[in-house]
Protein backbone atom coordinates (compact mmCIF):
# COMPACT_ATOMS: atom_id res chain seq x y z
CA UNK A 1 0.00 0.00 0.00
CA UNK A 2 1.46 3.42 -0.96
CA UNK A 3 2.44 5.76 1.85
CA UNK A 4 -0.12 8.55 2.36
CA UNK A 5 0.30 11.52 4.64
CA UNK A 6 -2.58 13.66 5.83
CA UNK A 7 -1.44 17.21 5.15
CA UNK A 8 -2.07 20.34 7.14
CA UNK A 9 -2.70 22.91 4.43
CA UNK A 10 -4.48 25.69 6.33
CA UNK A 11 -2.20 26.34 9.30
CA UNK A 12 -0.06 24.31 11.68
CA UNK A 13 -2.22 21.71 13.41
CA UNK A 14 -5.13 21.99 10.97
CA UNK A 15 -6.06 19.26 8.49
CA UNK A 16 -8.65 21.19 6.50
CA UNK A 17 -7.94 23.03 3.25
CA UNK A 18 -11.36 24.73 3.30
CA UNK A 19 -12.85 24.71 6.80
CA UNK A 20 -16.35 23.20 7.14
CA UNK A 21 -19.02 25.93 7.21
CA UNK A 22 -22.33 26.92 5.61
CA UNK A 23 -21.40 29.15 2.65
CA UNK A 24 -23.07 31.40 0.11
CA UNK A 25 -21.67 33.11 -2.98
CA UNK A 26 -20.26 35.88 -0.76
CA UNK A 27 -16.51 35.31 -0.69
CA UNK A 28 -16.64 32.75 -3.50
CA UNK A 29 -14.45 31.18 -4.74
CA UNK A 30 -13.23 29.51 -1.55
CA UNK A 31 -9.64 28.56 -2.28
CA UNK A 32 -7.87 26.05 -0.09
CA UNK A 33 -4.49 26.74 1.37
CA UNK A 34 -1.35 25.68 -0.50
CA UNK A 35 -0.32 22.00 -0.25
CA UNK A 36 3.40 21.75 -0.97
CA UNK A 37 4.01 18.48 -2.85
CA UNK A 38 7.80 18.45 -2.51
CA UNK A 39 8.77 14.81 -2.02
CA UNK A 40 5.43 13.42 -3.31
CA UNK A 41 4.29 12.31 -6.76
CA UNK A 42 0.58 13.08 -6.38
CA UNK A 43 -2.18 14.35 -4.13
CA UNK A 44 -5.91 14.18 -3.82
CA UNK A 45 -8.58 16.53 -2.53
CA UNK A 46 -11.69 15.31 -0.75
CA UNK A 47 -14.56 17.77 -1.21
CA UNK A 48 -17.47 17.37 1.25
CA UNK A 49 -20.77 18.97 0.22
CA UNK A 50 -23.65 19.14 2.71
CA UNK A 51 -27.39 19.38 2.21
CA UNK A 52 -28.26 22.08 -0.33
CA UNK A 53 -29.32 25.43 1.06
CA UNK A 54 -31.06 26.25 -2.24
CA UNK A 55 -32.54 24.40 -5.22
CA UNK A 56 -29.54 23.68 -7.43
CA UNK A 57 -29.92 24.00 -11.20
CA UNK A 58 -27.82 24.86 -14.28
CA UNK A 59 -27.44 28.48 -13.07
CA UNK A 60 -27.38 28.13 -9.28
CA UNK A 61 -24.70 25.57 -8.53
CA UNK A 62 -21.40 24.82 -6.83
CA UNK A 63 -18.31 24.13 -8.94
CA UNK A 64 -15.47 22.00 -7.56
CA UNK A 65 -12.02 22.35 -9.10
CA UNK A 66 -8.35 22.67 -8.22
CA UNK A 67 -5.39 24.91 -8.91
CA UNK A 68 -1.66 24.22 -9.29
CA UNK A 69 1.45 26.37 -9.17
CA UNK A 70 5.22 26.29 -9.45
CA UNK A 71 7.44 27.12 -6.50
CA UNK A 72 8.58 30.73 -6.11
CA UNK A 73 11.93 29.70 -4.61
CA UNK A 74 10.81 30.28 -1.03
CA UNK A 75 8.67 27.15 -0.76
CA UNK A 76 5.44 28.96 -1.63
CA UNK A 77 3.30 28.63 -4.75
CA UNK A 78 3.25 31.37 -7.37
CA UNK A 79 1.37 31.82 -10.65
CA UNK A 80 -1.69 29.74 -9.70
CA UNK A 81 -3.75 28.33 -12.59
CA UNK A 82 -6.58 25.84 -13.05
CA UNK A 83 -5.53 22.20 -13.22
CA UNK A 84 -6.12 20.73 -16.69
CA UNK A 85 -8.66 17.93 -17.09
CA UNK A 86 -5.90 15.45 -18.00
CA UNK A 87 -4.34 15.99 -14.57
CA UNK A 88 -7.49 15.46 -12.44
CA UNK A 89 -9.38 12.18 -12.04
CA UNK A 90 -12.69 12.55 -10.21
CA UNK A 91 -14.61 9.97 -8.15
CA UNK A 92 -17.86 10.08 -6.24
CA UNK A 93 -19.17 7.26 -4.01
CA UNK A 94 -16.61 4.86 -5.42
CA UNK A 95 -17.59 5.51 -9.04
CA UNK A 96 -15.12 7.15 -11.41
CA UNK A 97 -16.45 10.32 -13.02
CA UNK A 98 -13.46 10.66 -15.35
CA UNK A 99 -10.81 13.23 -16.16
CA UNK A 100 -12.51 16.59 -15.79
CA UNK A 101 -11.29 20.13 -15.08
CA UNK A 102 -14.22 20.60 -12.67
CA UNK A 103 -17.38 19.00 -11.29
CA UNK A 104 -20.65 20.93 -10.97
CA UNK A 105 -23.13 20.32 -8.16
CA UNK A 106 -26.18 21.42 -10.16
CA UNK A 107 -28.93 19.19 -8.72
CA UNK A 108 -30.02 18.37 -5.18
CA UNK A 109 -29.21 14.70 -5.76
CA UNK A 110 -25.53 15.67 -6.26
CA UNK A 111 -25.32 17.34 -2.82
CA UNK A 112 -24.89 15.66 0.58
CA UNK A 113 -21.93 13.73 -0.85
CA UNK A 114 -18.19 13.76 -1.05
CA UNK A 115 -16.16 14.04 -4.23
CA UNK A 116 -12.50 13.14 -4.66
CA UNK A 117 -10.09 14.64 -7.18
CA UNK A 118 -6.77 12.83 -7.72
CA UNK A 119 -4.06 15.23 -8.90
CA UNK A 120 -1.63 13.71 -11.39
CA UNK A 121 0.08 16.91 -12.52
CA UNK A 122 3.73 17.78 -12.10
CA UNK A 123 3.55 21.18 -10.37
CA UNK A 124 4.87 21.46 -6.83
CA UNK A 125 1.83 23.18 -5.29
CA UNK A 126 -1.84 22.13 -5.29
CA UNK A 127 -5.05 23.47 -3.72
CA UNK A 128 -8.80 22.76 -3.93
CA UNK A 129 -11.32 25.41 -5.05
CA UNK A 130 -15.05 25.60 -4.21
CA UNK A 131 -16.96 28.19 -6.24
CA UNK A 132 -20.60 29.21 -5.79
CA UNK A 133 -22.23 30.28 -9.07
CA UNK A 134 -25.61 32.01 -9.36
CA UNK A 135 -27.61 33.14 -6.33
CA UNK A 136 -27.18 31.37 -3.01
CA UNK A 137 -29.26 33.20 -0.39
CA UNK A 138 -29.14 30.25 2.00
CA UNK A 139 -25.82 28.59 2.73
CA UNK A 140 -24.73 25.09 1.78
CA UNK A 141 -22.17 23.48 4.09
CA UNK A 142 -18.96 22.42 2.37
CA UNK A 143 -15.34 21.66 3.12
CA UNK A 144 -12.22 20.24 1.47
CA UNK A 145 -9.26 18.21 2.71
CA UNK A 146 -5.99 17.46 0.90
CA UNK A 147 -3.79 14.38 1.12
CA UNK A 148 -0.31 14.01 -0.36
CA UNK A 149 0.41 10.56 -1.82
CA UNK A 150 3.18 8.41 -3.30
CA UNK A 151 6.14 9.63 -1.27
CA UNK A 152 9.31 9.85 -3.31
CA UNK A 153 12.89 10.92 -2.74
CA UNK A 154 12.82 13.01 -5.90
CA UNK A 155 12.20 16.73 -5.68
CA UNK A 156 9.67 18.47 -7.89
pLDDT digit string, tens, across residues 93-142: 878 899 999 999 999 899 999 999 999 999 999 999 999 998 887 888 88
Domain at 123, CATH number: 2.60.120
- 60 exposed, middle or buried (CB, 10 Å; 0-12, 13-18, 19+)? middle
Q: Looking at residue 155, what is its pLDDT? A: 52
The 3-state DSSP class for residue 108 equals helix
The residue segments making up the domain with residue 24 are 4-151
Q: At residue 23, what are phi and psi to the nearest 5 degrees?
A: -130, 155
Q: Is residue 156 part of a domain?
A: no
Least confident of 3-12, 72-81, 141-150: 3-12
> Would the pTM count as exceeding 0.85?
no
Q: Looking at residue 7, what is its pLDDT? A: 44
Q: Looking at residue 76, what is its pLDDT? A: 72
Number of domains in the chain: 1
Q: Is residue 50 part of a domain?
A: yes
Q: Is residue 147 part of a domain?
A: yes
Amino acid sequence: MPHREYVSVLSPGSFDAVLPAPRTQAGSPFTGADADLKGYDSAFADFIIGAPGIAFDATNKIRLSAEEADDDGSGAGTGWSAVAALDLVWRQAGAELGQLASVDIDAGAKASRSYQAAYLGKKRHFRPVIQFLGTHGTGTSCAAKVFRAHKTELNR
